[in-house]
Amino acid sequence: MPRRRNAALLAVLAVAVGCRHAVPPPTPLPAGWRVLAAAPRPFAALYRLACCGHRGLVLTVRGDGERLSLAVAVPPGGTALAAWVEPGGGFVERVKEGCREALPPGVLPVSADASLPIDPTLAALLLSGLLPAAARELPGMSGWVEATAGGLAWRAQVAGPEPHWTRVQLTRVGDGAPTMTAVRTDEGGTVPHHLVLTAGSVEASLELQAWRPNAPPAPPDWLTAPVCGARP
């Protein structure tokens, strides 16, 4: 009986060792991944947006890496949000109040009461499927690169054979506090077709409907409205 028990134990150990060796090794960076480390070009994009308890929203974005214009609409008509964002801050249109509300730097609104902690340059990079120009291989993490941009530290997992990032983790420079995660769930080309952006309790799911090169975004007419709360 002891011999049978020992034989059974050896068989279990052999299976366990075989399974352990069957785990695929970390995926190395694909050749040519540095093509992603580039400045975003002016673009216009249309998305289906799910965020903050709402689904079926329509998000329009125009950006050039410096300025970004976005609008969220509720089909079949009606604008839920319009925003203009620059490196030094931006504004949200408050239609009912007939004014514009100032935004601090590094804030990208996605609804009337929710935002993501990124500036227009980082937003354009993520939506374009690109990485900061200073991206480099991350030592000790095969298939990952790192960079610092906009006061945030990037860690991005890059896959192939056609280089594209699949996950980006952003932390605050200095204390390393988690800030935002971007996960791409499609494999088609450089530009992500499905993104999930998560920052704290805010989760925004973007499904690409259309993408095209475009002229740099022009400031919207509502930027001439007075700032909310300003004295006449």
Give the domain range for residue 91.
33-224
- Is position 9 within any domain? no
Cα 188–Cα 107–Cα 86 angle in degrees, nearest 5: 85
- Is position 10 within any domain? no
Domain count, the chain: 1
Helical ranges in 23-159 per DSSP H: 120-128
CATH number at residue 118: 2.50.20
DSSP lists the bridge partners of residue 89 as 86
pTM for this predicted structure:
0.84
* Sequential DSSP letters for 10-47: HHHHHHHHHHHHHSPPPPPPPTTGGGGBSPPPPEEEEE
User: Diameter of the chain by CA atoms?
Assistant: 95
- Is position 79 within any domain? yes
pLDDT in tens, the chain (232 residues): 444 444 444 443 344 444 443 434 567 899 899 999 999 999 999 999 999 888 899 999 999 999 999 999 988 777 789 999 998 999 999 988 889 999 999 999 998 888 999 999 999 999 999 999 999 999 888 999 999 887 899 999 999 889 999 999 999 988 888 899 999 999 878 999 999 999 999 999 999 999 999 999 999 999 999 999 775 5
- Is position 27 within any domain? no
- Is position 28 within any domain? no
Q: How far apart are CA 101 and CA 225, in angstroms?
A: 10
- Is position 218 within any domain? yes
Cα 158–Cα 160–Cα 163 angle in degrees, nearest 5: 65
- Is position 112 within any domain? yes
- Is position 16 within any domain? no
